[in-house]
Structure 1
Amino acid sequence: MSREARAQSSVIGVVLILGVVVAGTTGVLLIGGEALRDVQDRTKASLAELTMSSVDAEVSEVALGYADSRRVSLGGRGRATLDESAGRITVERVGSNATGPPIVNTTLGAVEYRSSGTTVAYQGGGVWRAGAGRSTMVSPPEFHYRWGTGSGSDPTLTFPIVALRGEAGSAEALRFEDGPTYAAFPNASAGMANPLSSGSVRVTVRSEYYRGWADYFRTRTDADTVRVYDANRSVAVVLSVPTRGREIGDSIAARSPTVTVQGGATVDSYNSSEGTYATTRGENGSVYVGEDLVNAGGGTIYGDMRVDGDFEGGGGIEVTGRLIADGDADLTGGGVTVDDELIADGDLRLGGGGHLDSPATVSGRVVETGGGVSVDAPVVAGGDYVSSSGTIGADVHVGGDFYPANGQNIDGDVTAAGSFEDGAVYPNVDGNVVENGPRPNLGAVSAARELTPPDLRPIDDAVATKVAAAAGSNDNDGSDAARIEAGNCGGAHAACTLTNGTYHLDDLELSGGDSLTFDTTGGPVSVVVDGDVSTSGGSPVDVVGSNAVHVYATGDYEIRTDWTSVGDRGDQIWLYGTSSSTVTVRSGADFYGVIYAPGNQDISVRGGAEVYGGIVGGVSDVQGGTAVHYDTVLADQKPELTGGGGAPVTFLHVTVNEIRVEDG
């Protein structure tokens, strides 16, 4: 290579090296500058978060009444502005009985710091950060929800809403002044009080930071409770008032004025936690009636009969336990046998030819009518005793006067705080008679006075809320729900199975050999039916797994086939009905579970059918040859009635605290 060529190569090499150096330097400067700007932006945002956290702390002092005003300096880190119209919050009652305007419907306002596409804001008592199409929470708002899982506690929402008002412009310091505060709920003048009795409470926030609000609501309540609406940049959290269901403490708990337990029908008990019905059968099958009871028919109650009102018996019925009435006890219809004790906070009436074979304590009078009455057990009464012909073969102690009948046989002792009024009659008295004696001890009557009425109000709101929630969010996709609605669960089709989840059906009707299994191995199963439930034609329903099955229906139940639980459990299947539902367990069907329709007046168990569990509602008919076997494991269990399946609420405390914002 010539010297000239070598010289040219050297020059070219130097130029190339310089080019590489310049290019590298330029790249470093470009990349480094971008990184520096990114660091600067993040630093500004972090400083803004610190500033807004200071705003949060100071405004809380003012909003909660600890200070009249507070001033926050931005420390030269930029300027914050007040947007009084930013965000809106609505708190309202929802449900079939919800009326009137919202509890709260107001703008929230926000103090905002904006820089390089990022906004940090104080709104509603919390600090939020928005940018790149998303928002997050920096510090939580004043939304305080307590699940109420502890003993004696109730689910409670406390929400002091902070609403910013004023005309502050872009400033390096802001002053926050205490403004008017009003109690939105409870509000006595508006007739709004705690505890809440029904329906739901919906809190809706419409805001640039709605997704941050949504994330916070989910952490405080329940994911099923929160709904996000991107179209209008809002989030709603729905808290449902739990219908105050009673523990299932009886075989039958009814409000029906007439409960017919016909001859040959049986009401008894067993304990599925210890074994099957056959191995643990007992006599704790109590019946509770929530108002005056007229009993027509026969049958045997192996347990207590408790009536929160007057009792009128007829047609023959045996109660192997106690008969307790918070009112009068009228046995004039005949054929009523009480094996243990009769207690009434009222009068006792005995009919012609009737027999009283159990001790009786009543707060009022004892009146015999029709003659031929036999009293073969001690009687204690707070008032008079008016006799007819017959026999008193046991002691009587009354707080008033005793009126014997002509020819009446009195073989026991009679003690009256008043007089023995035999001036015009001639009874046959073999016992001792004491007049002006001590008043009787009526302590036993407290058992009637202290009857705790079960909550037998309708659960229509709870069922309606369940239906609405399941219609909006369910696990139907990929399940057998569609086949169940089409009736394709047997014959040429495979049997249907529903696993852990919530399902929404327009109806549940099985027939012609269909078969349905609830597989609760992975968790409970909830089926919400906006229509009727019917099983017939040899179409069984069974459960596998240890968890529960809850069926909610707006229509009627017609059960003609077996619904079978695991190990005879009476607490595994729960059927919920409304006040307009008709519930019928037909002849030959065995149902293991709870029928829960407390506002209903038409629940019947037809001849040959058997229920293993319990019934709450208007039991109109338990026919001859049927049986209701109470599973005593239900004594401390309550129905699953929280509307919508989300978080419950019983107490609500909402205030609106206005804060004036001025340039500082």
Structure 2
Amino acid sequence: MMISAPDIGYQYQTLKSDSGSEEDEYTLIVPVTKIEGTAAVSGATTAAVTKTTRSQAIYPNKMAVYPNGQEFRNPAFNGTLEIEIQSEYYEAWGRYLSAELGQSAEYNHDTKTVRVSLTPYDRTAVAVGGSDPRINVITAALYSDTMLQTTHLNSHSTIDSYDSRVGGYDSSNMTSGADVVIGGPLKLNNPAGVYGNVTAAVVENNNPGDITGAIDTEFTSGLPTLEPIDAMIVGHITRIKEDNDNDNASSITVDANDIELDCTNDCELSAGSYYVNQTVNVKKTMTLDTTKGDIELAIDDGMKFEADKGTIQIIGDGKVFIYMAGGDIGIKQSTVEIPNDNAIQFWMFNLDSAAVTFEGGSEFTGIVYAPGATIIIKSDTHVYGAVVGYLADLQSNAGIHFDRALLGGTAYKAPTYEWDYVKPNTTLPPVKFLLGTERTVTVELE
């Protein structure tokens, strides 16, 4: 029988979310007490508590992350919350948890274990107006919050920088300050060069001189984190699908439900927003004329963007934004041409499921912003701008050349997110906030 109830509780109360707003929601509170001390002794003895630490937060905890890099933060969302207790008195624990949490307990009598599962809200995002400074300012040549995979820099590959406000990339305009910030390991297969600081979980390089700046493997400034942009991309694609300037583009054709931008021959887009749901294949010259304003191109239904021995040239001072719904990006023996290598003018956004490959001696000027995508830059290929996403491989004689003009903060203003929490399909009230604490009690046997 239970002598006194533990402090585990499931209650309706007012709490602040990470955004600072107060919300009345169901909260799961789990305090954990760890007991430490000397080993058991035989015979009669006494015990005394010699030290008790203050409670420390286990959840939420911005210093702790899930395997995908997401911080332990509130509101809790998605997945399953499980409480599992192994005890000689597991059946009494099960009766208590069932009554307190309103959920059936699962017993394993062989291991004397009880488990109760709870369902958090599903978290969905809706893009709304405003600007997100994490997207607005690109601060590194390579930025990724992927934690488990290794980024390889191969023989004679280079990460350096230039400033398009001064001129295009060349030996006289090449500088350091091309930082690399990744959540996982970095391996340099010498000789390879990073002209800037490196923040990574592990840095493996045989020649320390290959990195000119500081090396931080302790994440003293915190783990790299990126808000997911899938909802933002889908929002833009939906908006452009509903209201676009396709009628003004002679290169866009409609056949039944297929809407195609035909760039197998020369094609051109001027200022406006355009929607297609077929692969865009640049075989010759694609001219993007921003003289009268920015250009938006939405590529829907997971279709690809491919340039094969083609040229993408940008005219004017405006910007080009390409939003893709997960289709692969392939740049092969192709060039993106912008005066002074001004990377700010060309942005490609893609979903986490995408694969991005540059190959065949291509020269790409712009920003690839696809936080969860896998990116490969093959031999003799160069990217002028920045890469946001998991770079698996920077092959031999390839380079990422960071445009320091991106540090100005005027590159791109993306929508912020308005998070909506959807209750799961259950008659029981789900968990929205999780509060977990831990303290240690030291017991010494006398």
Fold shared, TM-score > 0.5 on shorter chain? yes
Aligned pair 1:552/2:444, yes or no?
no
* Deviation sequence 1:592-621 (CA, Å, 0-9, x none): 011111122x11110011000111110110
Aligned pair 1:616/2:402, yes or no?
no
1:94-243 equivalence runs, <5 A? 186-189=22-25, 199-200=125-126
CA distance, structure 1, for counterparts of residue 410 and residue 228 of structure 2 = 15
Partner of 1:522: 292
Please tell me whether the aligned partners of residues 270 and 288 of structure 2 are also in contact (alpha carbons under 8 angstroms). yes
* Deviation sequence 1:433-456 (CA, Å, 0-9, x none): xxxxxxxxxxxxxxx52x154432
1:346-357 equivalence runs, <5 A? none
* Deviation sequence 1:246-283 (CA, Å, 0-9, x none): 62111111234311000110111101101111141112
Residues 1:623 and 1:649: Cα distance change in structure 2 (over 3 Å): closer
Aligned partner of 1:605: which letter? I
Residues 1:569 and 1:288: Cα distance change in structure 2 (over 3 Å): same
5+ unaligned residues in a row in structure 2: which ranges? 1-18, 28-73, 76-122, 421-446
Partner of 1:455: 225
1:402-441 equivalence runs, <5 A? none
Q: 2:314 aligns with which of 517, 521, 543?
A: 543
Partner of 1:265: 157
Q: What TM-score, normalized by structure 2, do the two folds share?
A: 0.60
Aligned pair 1:603/2:375, yes or no?
yes
CA distance, structure 1, for counterparts of residue 311 and residue 349 of structure 2 = 19
Q: CA deviation at 1:190?
A: 5.9
Residue aligned with 1:598, SS: strand
CA distance, structure 1, for counterparts of residue 340 and residue 206 of structure 2 = 36
Residues 1:548 and 1:241: Cα distance change in structure 2 (over 3 Å): closer
Q: 1:281 aligns with which of 133, 156, 174?
A: 174
Partner of 1:578: 351
Partner of 1:145: none
Q: Give the structure, 1 or 2, with the largest relative contact order (CA under 8 Å, sep 6 or more).
A: 2
1 or 2, which has the higher helix percentage?
Answer: 1
Residue aligned with 1:634, SS: helix
Q: CA deviation at 1:287?
A: 1.0
Partner of 2:12: none
Q: 2:361 aligns with which of 577, 588, 597?
A: 588
Aligned partner of 1:517: which letter? T
* Deviation sequence 1:558-584 (CA, Å, 0-9, x none): 111111112211211011111111011
Please tell me whether the aligned partners of residues 258 and 296 of structure 1 are also in contact (alpha carbons under 8 angstroms). no
Between structure 1 and structure 2, the one with the greater Rg is 1
CA distance, structure 2, for counterparts of residue 541 and residue 280 of structure 1 = 24
Aligned pair 1:324/2:215, yes or no?
yes
Residues 1:186 and 1:474: Cα distance change in structure 2 (over 3 Å): farther
Residue aligned with 1:471, SS: helix
Please tell me whether the aligned partners of residues 498 and 517 of structure 1 are also in contact (alpha carbons under 8 angstroms). yes
* Deviation sequence 1:10-60 (CA, Å, 0-9, x none): xxxxxxxxxxxxxxxxxxxxxxxxxxxxxxxxxxxxxxxxxxxxxxxxxxx
Residues 1:322 and 1:242: Cα distance change in structure 2 (over 3 Å): closer
5+ unaligned residues in a row in structure 1: which ranges? 1-155, 157-184, 202-237, 328-447, 653-664
Please tell me whether the aligned partners of residues 245 and 641 of structure 1 are also in contact (alpha carbons under 8 angstroms). yes
Please tell me whether the aligned partners of residues 307 and 331 of structure 2 are also in contact (alpha carbons under 8 angstroms). yes
**Identity among equivalent pairs (%):** 22
Partner of 1:497: 268
Residues 1:243 and 1:474: Cα distance change in structure 2 (over 3 Å): farther
CA distance, structure 1, for counterparts of residue 133 and residue 165 of structure 2 = 27
Aligned pair 1:534/2:427, yes or no?
no
CA distance, structure 1, for counterparts of residue 253 and residue 263 of structure 2 = 6
Residue aligned with 2:231, SS: helix
CA distance, structure 1, for counterparts of residue 235 and residue 319 of structure 2 = 20
Q: CA deviation at 1:244?
A: 4.3
Please tell me whether the aligned partners of residues 264 and 281 of structure 2 are also in contact (alpha carbons under 8 angstroms). no
CA RMSD of aligned residues (A): 3.1
Aligned pair 1:311/2:202, yes or no?
yes
Partner of 2:250: 480
CA distance, structure 1, for counterparts of residue 251 and residue 24 of structure 2 = 47
Q: CA deviation at 1:464?
A: 1.2
Residue aligned with 2:351, SS: coil
Residue aligned with 2:308, SS: coil
Please tell me whether the aligned partners of residues 200 and 240 of structure 1 are also in contact (alpha carbons under 8 angstroms). no
CA distance, structure 2, for counterparts of residue 286 and residue 304 of structure 1 = 5
1 or 2, which has the higher strand percentage?
Answer: 2
CA distance, structure 2, for counterparts of residue 460 and residue 488 of structure 1 = 26
1:355-374 equivalence runs, <5 A? none
